[in-house]
Structure 1
Amino acid sequence: MGLDEDLLEHLERRVSRPGEADEGGRAPGFEQTSRELEERYRYTIALSPLVAWTAWPNGDILDIDEPGLARTGLSLGEVRGQGFFAVVHPDDRQNVATMWRRNASLGHDIDNEVRMRMRDGSYRWHRSRAAPLKDSSGKILRWYGTIEDVHDRKLAADSIRWAAEHDSLTGIWARAAFLAGLDTVVHRAAEAGSEVALVLFDLDNFKQVNDQFGHDTGDALLKDVAARLSEAAEVPAMVGRLGGDEFALFLARPDTARLIAAIDQAVAALDAPFRYEAVTYHCRSSVGVALYPADGAESDTLRKNADLALYDAKGGGGGTLRYFRGELRQQMQERLSMLSIARDALDRDLILPYYQPKIDLRTGRIAGFEALLRWNHPGNGVQPPATIAAAFDDPELALALGERMQDRVLADVRAWRERGVNTGRIAINASAMEFRGADFAIKLIARLAAFGVPATSIELEITEGVFFDNSDAHVLRIISALRDAGITIALDDFGTGYASLAHLKQFPVDVLKIDRSFVDAPSACDWTIVRAIIGLGKGLGIRTVAEGVETVERRDALLNDGCDFGQGYLFSAPVAGAAVADLLEADRVR
């Protein structure tokens, strides 16, 4: 393709010098210089992957290199004017037209990416760049540009960007991209006057799926959840995986009624049982919801409030949906206050055990004690564990509190043994958080050795939360190791959980503790449950302990029905370690 007259004139001005013009007004050697420049231009283009083109000021194509024609399969006549638009992808044509309208008037350089149809009918990404040639007044004379094939590079960049924005396992949006999308949809909702729901899903007991069936099954479950939510969430919506077994969904709708219906549809998508190979699993999930604008005018506030609703759903036992309520924020403040108090009590060494005796109902004598956590407020005295209840659900604090209690109790037991005081077994409570550690049994047994306390002096009380938060194999390993060492196992709050009978069948348990809710002022139905638990214990050779015994009538009823031990204020309130010896002495001489 030759240089047109306007470009030649432009080159002439660049090489001419005053006083050196020939008869035609051209500088000596100009023709040779222009030929050299054109030759250099031709070789440069020939060796370059770029396709050169020229257009009129309005963008109509004037000329294009042969390689460009060869790629597209069009003739020069076909591409001139607006004909080149025929090879632009239909989805890109509007953007190209808009770009030309803007640049034709402003004269800005052009740099955009567009898909072009190749001779074989396929589309490839190309980068089109151009700059205008202007006269001295700034009027655009021509556009000179190039087209570069960037298809492979763009696909690679798109692949990298996709990987950064999407979860590698499920293919849905990853955390950062999802939250960015939430921010965008909230801004658009503010402009459109629509409503948005942020819905957070946390799969209940997902860890058990991995532990019981293997990580392949767990991965398949996560993929299935992502697919179900994506299918159920009709646009405008976006589904993301925030990490682990937590998923998120936001929905935009014109009004609250349609928004609630869309939420219900998404939640219902997880109701059907999950199936993978030979495994069938009912996927229970905790769900927290926050609504825009009612629960937050910004995406960050919306996310925090949805988190609070999710925490409330999980605290209710899981498998439930909770909408954000204003009081949840106050509850969270109370929880944070409890955590702060617990940390302070640990740092200042204020944790101490109190001991409540267990009474043999047949003899009326003390048979052992339960160690109950207390902490000593410098100004208000001894405080109950309810004041730091949230700490027992915090992984770090629950472990620290458990270990501090073990140290205090074992120090007391050692002191009593050195004085010849026989306390019977001392029961120590273990939270579900403590039981998560694979080395829980090893560490407890090592502590016993360090304090010189025999394992036969200790009983470990666990609740059914231990089973729900850990795999059956994990719990069985720990319980078996503790019992082999000589520690007995008590199942606390029996009858209040969901799978107590299954646990008795699977795990070696020595003691059942009947929850005080069945014993204290019970209805006829409650007492039927008490009798059933006592009978179950006898049938399985497991001792039973009734908590919350407050009256002589309850004690006598328990004794008549065959309960082994009682514990409650009828016998004694919890006492400090220093008072235990006196209790035992009074029990001995009465």
Structure 2
Amino acid sequence: MPLIDIDLLGVPAFTVAVGEDGSFRYDGLNAANTAVSGLTKAMVVGRTPHDYVPAAVADRLVANYRRCVEARLMQEYEEELDLPGGHKWWRTTLSPVVGCEGRIVQILGLVIDITEKKQAEIELRSAAFKDPLTGICNRRRFERDLENAVAKARDTGRPFTVVLADVDRFKPINDTHGHGVGDAVLKAIAWRLAAGIRDTDRLARIGGDEFAAILSAGSEGAIAVALDRLRGKLAGPLRIGALDLIVGVSLGSALWAPAMSTDDVMAAADAAMYRQKDLRAA
């Protein structure tokens, strides 16, 4: 019999009995909770977390309940769960209930469905890291990815490659055909570059007509293969409306070395790209 009658509460709630052996078993679930979670008393009351959800999820639930008991304080956190009512985000507040002997005998849980709020946050973060024209990552996301790539390479000793791609003579395209055609060219270049890299590589637009990629290629031989693949994807005219445009793209690459910072590897790739651009212009 639960110590707290949560059926009288108008907010989604549940209670967990805390055994003397430290076990956790649900002993209450109110109608407001059922309405939002899809769970029923028959599904959970009398059961432990491991009795009704996958082990990995149950382990997280038990860890939260144990933290509440050990701290003897209210705990509040956000969690993502797949329940009969669907995949949702919750803000959960746990409050310890102390028995007459001073031992925590029960946990009162109050939950709020925050799924719409979390989805809005995720969409906002996605927009903050996405180039609105091409749909690929923007410079802000690339800089974060590059920092992570350098940190991982330092930890593992496995190098990676940065490739920079710059559209040749892009300004005359805009001046001759208009910015609408120029935007279409950038989109097409982005699509071709994306088709030339692996799913695990990262591509971004980091400037007006400049793109950058972080590739897993870890040797000069692997870089040569990657660049050949990219050049193959970039070859051929771009069909923009009624126009067939021959658009060149200069590529430059740099293999990360242990002493290199993010600025160092970018500078090396940039220098290689401009050497290629000079050769193409000659």
Tell whether the structures are fold-level matches, with TM greater than 0.5. yes
Alpha-carbon distance in 2 for matches of 1:308, 1:251: 18
2:33 equivalent to 1:68: yes
Alpha-carbon distance in 2 for matches of 1:230, 1:56: 54
**Corresponding residue to 2:263 among 277, 285, 300:** 300
Alpha-carbon distance in 2 for matches of 1:259, 1:134: 64
Match in the other structure for 2:192: 228
Q: TM-score, normalised by structure 2?
A: 0.81
2:115 equivalent to 1:184: no
Q: RCO (CA 8 Å, sep 6+): is it higher in 1 or 2?
A: 2
**Corresponding residue to 2:165 among 193, 201, 216:** 201
Mapping of 1:437-448 within 5 angstroms? Answer: none
Alpha-carbon distance in 2 for matches of 1:103, 1:124: 18
Alpha-carbon distance in 1 for matches of 2:243, 2:51: 55
**Corresponding residue to 1:100 among 48, 56, 61:** 61
Cα pair 2:170 2:182 within 8 Å, conserved: yes
- How much does 1:77 deviate? 1.5
Alpha-carbon distance in 2 for matches of 1:258, 1:137: 69
Seen in structure 2, the aligned counterparts of structure 1 residues 191 and 144 have a Cα distance that, compared at 3 Å, is same
Match in the other structure for 2:79: 113
Match in the other structure for 1:148: 112
- How much does 1:137 deviate? 9.4
**Corresponding residue to 1:280 among 244, 255, 280:** 244
Seen in structure 2, the aligned counterparts of structure 1 residues 140 and 242 have a Cα distance that, compared at 3 Å, is farther
Seen in structure 2, the aligned counterparts of structure 1 residues 55 and 196 have a Cα distance that, compared at 3 Å, is same
Seen in structure 2, the aligned counterparts of structure 1 residues 75 and 260 have a Cα distance that, compared at 3 Å, is same
Match in the other structure for 1:52: 13
Amino acid at match of 1:303: M
- How much does 1:164 deviate? 1.0
Mapping of 1:63-462 within 5 angstroms? Answer: 63-80=28-45, 81-82=47-48, 94=56, 96-106=57-67, 107=70, 109-117=75-83, 119=85, 122-133=86-97, 140-253=104-217, 255-293=219-257, 296-318=259-281
- How much does 1:123 deviate? 2.9
Match in the other structure for 1:507: none
Alpha-carbon distance in 1 for matches of 2:152, 2:58: 26
Seen in structure 2, the aligned counterparts of structure 1 residues 189 and 69 have a Cα distance that, compared at 3 Å, is same
Please give the per-residue CA displacement for 1:303-359, whole angstroms capped at 9, x wherever unaligned: 1222222233333345xxxxxxxxxxxxxxxxxxxxxxxxxxxxxxxxxxxxxxxxx
Alpha-carbon distance in 1 for matches of 2:234, 2:173: 16
- How much does 1:117 deviate? 4.1
Amino acid at match of 2:79: E
Alpha-carbon distance in 1 for matches of 2:115, 2:238: 41
- How much does 1:196 deviate? 0.6
Which stretches in structure 2 are left out of the alignment for 5+ residues? none
Alpha-carbon distance in 1 for matches of 2:234, 2:222: 20
- How much does 1:188 deviate? 1.2
- Percent identity reads 28
Q: Cα RMSD over matched residues?
A: 3.1
Cα pair 1:195 1:256 within 8 Å, conserved: no
Seen in structure 2, the aligned counterparts of structure 1 residues 105 and 118 have a Cα distance that, compared at 3 Å, is closer
What SS does the corresponding residue of 1:71 show, helix, strand or coil? helix
Seen in structure 2, the aligned counterparts of structure 1 residues 85 and 214 have a Cα distance that, compared at 3 Å, is farther
What SS does the corresponding residue of 2:160 show, helix, strand or coil? strand
Alpha-carbon distance in 1 for matches of 2:220, 2:103: 56
Cα pair 1:194 1:253 within 8 Å, conserved: no
Amino acid at match of 1:67: A
Cα pair 1:128 1:148 within 8 Å, conserved: yes
Alpha-carbon distance in 2 for matches of 1:118, 1:267: 50
Alpha-carbon distance in 1 for matches of 2:138, 2:64: 37
- 55-64 or 152-161, which moves further after superposition? 55-64
What SS does the corresponding residue of 2:166 show, helix, strand or coil? strand
Please give the per-residue CA displacement for 1:168-210, whole angstroms capped at 9, x wherever unaligned: 1111111111111111022112222222101111101112222
Seen in structure 2, the aligned counterparts of structure 1 residues 224 and 118 have a Cα distance that, compared at 3 Å, is farther
Cα pair 1:252 1:259 within 8 Å, conserved: no
Aligned residues: 272
Cα pair 1:237 1:249 within 8 Å, conserved: yes
Amino acid at match of 1:123: H
- How much does 1:264 deviate? 2.9
Alpha-carbon distance in 1 for matches of 2:58, 2:265: 40
Cα pair 2:38 2:83 within 8 Å, conserved: no
Alpha-carbon distance in 2 for matches of 1:155, 1:192: 34
Q: TM-score, normalised by structure 1?
A: 0.42
- How much does 1:68 deviate? 2.0
Higher helix share: 1
What SS does the corresponding residue of 1:173 show, helix, strand or coil? coil
Alpha-carbon distance in 2 for matches of 1:133, 1:261: 64
- How much does 1:110 deviate? 4.7
